[in-house]
Amino acid sequence: MSLLPAIHATIEISKVMIPPIVIGFFIASVIRSSPYFRYLSLPTARLASIANLSQECSAALTLFLVNNWAALAALSEVHKRKSITDNELIVAVLVGFIPRGCHGTIFFSVPVALCVLGIRAGGLYVVLDFLANFFIAAAGVLAGRLMLKPITLAMIEDENVSTSERWTEIIKQGILDSISSSKKIIKILVPTIFLAQLAIDYVLVLPIVERYNALIEPVGFSSSSLIVLLVSVVSQSAAIVACGTLQKDGSISIVGCLLLLFMARFLHMGIGCMRIGIPANVSYFGGRVGLRVTAVEYLLVELANVTMIIILLNIFLNDGRY
């Protein structure tokens, strides 16, 4: 068994993940130290209130609209200070799929799917993508209402910012905090990525690919659709492009295209759990809590994907013309 592919993949993934993580910690530190922190909770205050989440979590939910790593960094900081419990952390991550879904829809699903798949297939994919995210967030809201105590929304008074607030000091401290927190994260993140990549290469991907044809042939897909699954291991965007190509040359229908995409999404998210989810959550929240967050998050993610697959498969088998 060669370790070189896993080492190369670890380097490539780390190059993609580490800069946003460092930036995320900096953003979270500056915002947390600024006199305007309380206002950050306003856009998602109602959503947090419905799930019985505190103002600290509400601010993190707002950050999910902008930067996923900054939001996780903010949750990591308040969790380390014991400002929120493990259950509140998990609920916040799940409810965060609404702002994360909005961000993904605006910056990924709409421009990529509509451009590659066309208005009809692309529009349906965008809607189903948002519904999958809403399903996860709804589970988080339900869990919050069942497990957490209701929190009264604090009134935010209009105060003048003290002239003693020195933004240069806040930024300097943000840089120091970012470096310190990122070093702790990276020491755990890189080895975990490497171990996860070994498992992906030799335990997960190869068996799935080997059995793929046996799974899809009874449904009616050609073996050429295997390319959608293969490229989804690397990128969901690549899977959309591959699926769009098959649709344009008449190999699959619109429903077949959507079905393949959600099958590819199921695999992509599963690989993402191993490649990014576990390393990131373990490094942010610690081993036990990080694994617990990952297990709950990706269980619901894949359950949402399976739900979409079942719906689309039923339509496809009943009327494959669409």
CA distances from 318 to 247, 312, 322 (A): 19, 10, 10
Per-domain residue ranges for the chain? 4-156+169-318
Which is nearest to 296 in space by CA: 86, 44, 79?
86
Tell me which amino acid residue 8 is.
Answer: H
CA dist 67 and 19 (Å) reads 12
* pLDDT computed for residue 37 by the predictor: 61
Residue 229: partners with Cβ closer than 8 Å, 6 or more residues away:
208, 209, 212, 239, 260, 263, 264, 267
CA dist 234 and 215 (Å) reads 21
Check if the beta carbon of residue 63 is closer than 8 Å to that of residue 78. Answer: no
* pLDDT computed for residue 55 by the predictor: 82
Tell me which amino acid residue 47 is.
Answer: L
* pLDDT computed for residue 210 by the predictor: 55
* pLDDT computed for residue 159 by the predictor: 44
CA atoms within 13 A on the CB side of 203: 11
Angle at 278 between CA 228 and CA 183, to 5 degrees: 120
Check if the beta carbon of residue 308 is closer than 8 Å to that of residue 233. Answer: no
* pLDDT computed for residue 224 by the predictor: 61
User: Which residues of the chain fall below pLDDT 50?
Assistant: 155-165, 320-322
What tokens does 35 get? Answer: 């006199």
Its pTM stands at 0.77
Helices 97-104 & 114-147 angle (0-180, nearest 10): 170
Q: Each residue of 137-194: pLDDT tens digit? A: 999 999 999 999 887 655 444 444 444 446 677 777 777 777 776 676 677 767 767 7
CA atoms within 13 A on the CB side of 196: 25
Token pair 């755990």 in the structure block, residue: 188
* pLDDT computed for residue 50 by the predictor: 92
Torsion from C-alpha of 113, 115, 119, 121, nearest 10 degrees = -40
CA dist 75 and 2 (Å) reads 38
